[in-house]
Amino acid sequence: MTKELAIVGASGHGKVIADIAEQLGYTVRFYDDAYPSKKNIEHWPIYGACEDLIASSDGQAENAVVAIGNNDIRAEKISLLQQHNFTLVTLIDPSAVISQYAKIAPGCVVFPGAVINAFASIGKGCIINTSAVVEHDCKLGDFTHICPNVALAGGVSVGSKSWLGIGSQVKQLVSIGGNSLIGAGSTVIKNIPDNVTSFGSPAIVVTNNK
């Protein structure tokens, strides 16, 4: 029997998610709020906006994943789908390496080559992007985005909705607050508070996002 999966968000990120989902045996259907001005992505048709997906649902726990990189919008769409009884699927690329002792909440995507080690815990709706490393005992809040090639050493914590830019690295046991942004290529060696943008090596706070 084929498994069906609605993907909300027809973007580059969505294409990677569709590829992973198909490898896992799903038949995918894209939805995007740019519909009807946008009607397809690559060879996949777009079936409607997110509200069309909800309207067409029979309330019988259909599978869905949200493929939107923006943490706030992803959180909003996931909450909406949960309110309408969709099943939030977590997709893990077959090439990712996940410890038997790691915990990953629903609605996450784990991209090719990522590693999540023992006793790491990943909150709801997170993106663990290509070749990111989440070491042992890390704790990631809901709706975080860990970009490609990020390396989190052991015991790092990241608050909800934070975004760690491509190639950034974080020293062991460092804590990054919620809703903060770490710039591409940064090296984080000290705790970072909530609601700030930081970058550089070592990373320093450059903007308060409140």
Ligand X SMILES: CC(=O)SCCNC(=O)CCNC(=O)[C@H](O)C(C)(C)COP(=O)(O)OP(=O)(O)OC[C@H]1O[C@@H](n2cnc3c(N)ncnc32)[C@H](O)[C@@H]1OP(=O)(O)O
Closest C-alpha to 67, from 111, 98, 23: 111
Query: Contact at 8 Å (CB) between 46 and 10?
Result: yes
Indicate which residue of 13, 43, 84, 136 is catalytic. 136
Our finding on whether 147 is near ligand X (CB under 6 A) is yes
Distances (CA, A) of 60 to 14, 28, 57, 63, 176: 24, 17, 7, 9, 38
Contacting ligand X within 164-193 (CB under 6 A): 165-166, 181, 183-186
Specify whether 13 is catalytic: no
9 binds ligand X (CB under 6 A): no
Q: In the numeric block, which tokens belong to residue 46?
A: 């777009």
Identity of the residue, 41 or 54, whose beta carbon is nearer to ligand X in the bound complex: 41
Q: Binding marks (x or -) toward ligand X, 81..120, rule CB under 6 A?
A: ----------------------------------------
Nearer to ligand X, 53 or 126 (CB): 126
Site string for ligand X, 119-138 (x = CB under 6 A): ----------x---------
Alpha-carbon distance 166 to 204, whole Å?
17
Sequence-distant (6+) residues with CB within 8 A of 145 are 69, 71, 126, 127, 129, 162, 163, 164
Residue 148 binds ligand X, judged by CB under 6 A: yes
Question: For binding to ligand X (CB under 6 A), which residues are involved?
Answer: 129, 147-148, 165-166, 181, 183-186, 197, 199-200
Active site residues: 136
